């Protein structure tokens, strides 16, 4: 089959690899009908995340048609159309039973090695380094799905791939980010980063009762999409002076009740005092400008939600965090927990996730699309691949 394979920093190739096979009775094999390039994939493309091996198949936002089912899988049958969560979860361990699917104790075959870094193993992930199991990803013609009697959700016939594909990751991730922000009716929510997760976080915040959402980015297309959802926007590249002063002015000096940091390790500063301090101590790999700006921006007693990805240690404004009595909530998304309720929101017309798609390509176009997405060329916000 054809697949997009990682061969080093900035080196993605469309290659022929072995077709996947059933390895366990709970497995399923799907023929991929749609998959997507995620912002997290760009961290791999940029060489920020260790644990990749040459030839690894990329991708963790995938859906398709079931073409084979293991003997012990009674949930799925050949011909079912399913969306596959990026988290691989057994459904039986203590964490899965508590709905904390991304913390599954059993699904990562490299969990013992991962625990040396994290202290404990967590769930395996599709297409996301050998620390998370080395599972081949879904930017391919076919995908093996372990624990397929737990993860995938069947897609209703009346909904297109474009409407349901993002249930695999970014819609639940944006929703959980808003949920972690402890939004109450009348609250003001600040969102750093108007990429795909930020866009879903904005819409989720409004659905949860936020009165105002203020979104921060510098990419015009992303800012326009945030405004279309009802957010007020700040182009941080155009701010004269300190970004915090702009935030205070927009909130009459009170500040936001919660802040969602949807950027992570590749954030960029805007010449602020925070950035200048960090440049002297942080080096150039993980750049926590958005995280630290979130800590400064949040009102005392507020909540910071962090769906943005980090890998190692970063210098953090801990004095401000503790001094203001803030709460931080974060974590990989427990996708399986949100699949059914968010599918209902799509069916009821509360949201159509296809609003995000700007480019549709084939696998052969994948290497160029990675470069385009990373460089934010051609108005690129979200790339969907139809193998």
What does DSSP say about strands 124-125 and 61-69: parallel, antiparallel, or unpaired? unpaired
> If you average pLDDT over every residue of the chain, what do you get?
92
Task: Supply the pLDDT for residue 265.
Answer: 57
- Which tokens is 280 given? 């002297």
Looking at residues 170-195, what average pLDDT do you find? 96
Determine contact, residues 234/212, Cβ cutoff 8 Å: no
- Rounded distance, CA 383 to CA 366, Å? 9
The per-residue pLDDT for range 297-318, each reduced to its tens digit, is 999 999 999 997 777 777 889 9
Determine contact, residues 309/265, Cβ cutoff 8 Å: yes
- Which tokens is 374 given? 């990373």
- Rounded distance, CA 86 to CA 101, Å? 11
Task: Please determine, for residue 273, whether its predicted confidence score (pLDDT) is greater than 70.
Answer: no
Task: Please determine, for residue 234, whether its predicted confidence score (pLDDT) is greater than 90.
Answer: yes
Task: Supply the pLDDT for residue 269.
Answer: 40
Task: Supply the pLDDT for residue 381.
Answer: 94
- Which tokens is 218 given? 């510098």
Task: Please determine, for residue 246, whether its predicted confidence score (pLDDT) is greater than 50.
Answer: yes
CA angle at 290 for the pair 264 and 326, rounded to the nearest 5°: 100
Looking at residues 113-139, what average pLDDT do you find? 95
- Rounded distance, CA 278 to CA 92, Å? 43
Return the SS3 of 235. strand
Task: Supply the pLDDT for residue 313.
Answer: 75
- Residue 119, phi then psi, degrees to nearest 5: 95, -25
Task: Supply the pLDDT for residue 46.
Answer: 86
- Rounded distance, CA 306 to CA 312, Å? 15
The per-residue pLDDT for range 315-347, each reduced to its tens digit, is 889 999 999 999 999 999 999 999 999 999 999
Give me the helices (H) in the chain, please. Answer: 39-45, 94-97, 111-118, 161-164, 170-180, 196-207, 220-228, 243-250, 273-279, 289-297, 318-323, 335-347, 366-375
183 confidence band (pLDDT: 50, 70, 90)? very high
CA angle at 155 for the pair 182 and 350, rounded to the nearest 5°: 45
More confident: 290 or 329: 329
Least confident of 67-71, 190-194, 216-220, 278-282: 278-282
The distance from CA 260 to its chain's CA centroid, rounded to whole angstroms, is: 13
- Rounded distance, CA 307 to CA 329, Å? 9
Q: Return all residues near 313 (Cβ < 8 A) that are at least 6 apart.
A: none
Least confident of 79-83, 113-117, 257-261, 283-287: 283-287
Looking at residues 100-120, what average pLDDT do you find? 95
Q: Return all residues near 291 (Cβ < 8 A) that are at least 6 apart.
A: 261, 263, 264, 267, 306, 308, 310, 314, 316
């Amino acid at each position: 089959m054809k697949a997009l394979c990682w061969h080093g920093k900035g080196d993605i190739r469309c290659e022929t690899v072995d077709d996947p096979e059933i390895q366990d009775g709970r497995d399923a094999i799907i023929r991929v009908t749609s998959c997507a390039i995620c912002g997290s994939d760009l961290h791999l493309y940029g060489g920020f995340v260790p644990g990749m091996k040459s030839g690894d198949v990329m991708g963790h936002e995938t859906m398709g048609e079931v073409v084979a089912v293991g003997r012990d899988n009674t949930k799925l049958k050949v011909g079912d159309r399913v969306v596959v969560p990026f988290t691989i979860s057994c459904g039986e361990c203590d964490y899965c039973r508590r709905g904390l699917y991304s913390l599954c104790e059993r699904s990562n075959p490299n969990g013992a090695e991962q625990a040396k870094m994290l202290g404990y193993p967590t769930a395996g992930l599709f297409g996301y380094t050998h620390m998370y199991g080395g599972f081949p990803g879904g930017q391919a013609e076919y995908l093996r799905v372990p624990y397929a009697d737990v993860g995938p959700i069947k897609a209703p016939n009346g909904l297109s791939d474009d409407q349901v594909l993002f249930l695999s990751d970014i819609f639940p991730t944006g929703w959980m980010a808003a949920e972690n922000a402890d939004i109450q009716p009348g609250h003001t929510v600040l969102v750093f980063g108007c990429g795909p997760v930020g866009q879903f976080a904005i819409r989720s915040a409004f659905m949860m009762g936020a009165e105002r959402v203020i979104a921060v980015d510098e990419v015009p297309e992303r800012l326009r999409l945030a405004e279309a959802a009802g957010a007020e926007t700040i182009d941080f590249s155009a701010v004269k002076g300190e970004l915090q002063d702009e935030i205070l002015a927009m909130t009459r000096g009170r500040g936001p009740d919660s802040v969602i940091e949807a950027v992570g390790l590749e954030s960029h500063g805007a010449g602020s005092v925070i950035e200048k301090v960090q440049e002297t101590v942080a080096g150039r790999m993980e750049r926590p400008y958005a995280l630290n700006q979130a800590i400064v921006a949040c009102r005392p007693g507020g909540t910071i939600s962090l769906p943005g990805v980090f890998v190692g240690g970063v210098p953090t404004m801990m004095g401000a965090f503790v001094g203001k009595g803030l709460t931080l909530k974060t974590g990989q998304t427990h996708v399986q927990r949100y699949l059914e309720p968010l599918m209902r929101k799509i069916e009821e017309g509360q949201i159509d996730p296809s609003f995000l798609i700007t480019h549709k390509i084939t696998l052969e176009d994948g290497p160029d699309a990675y470069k385009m997405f990373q460089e934010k060329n051609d108005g690129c916000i979200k790339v969907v691949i139809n193998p």
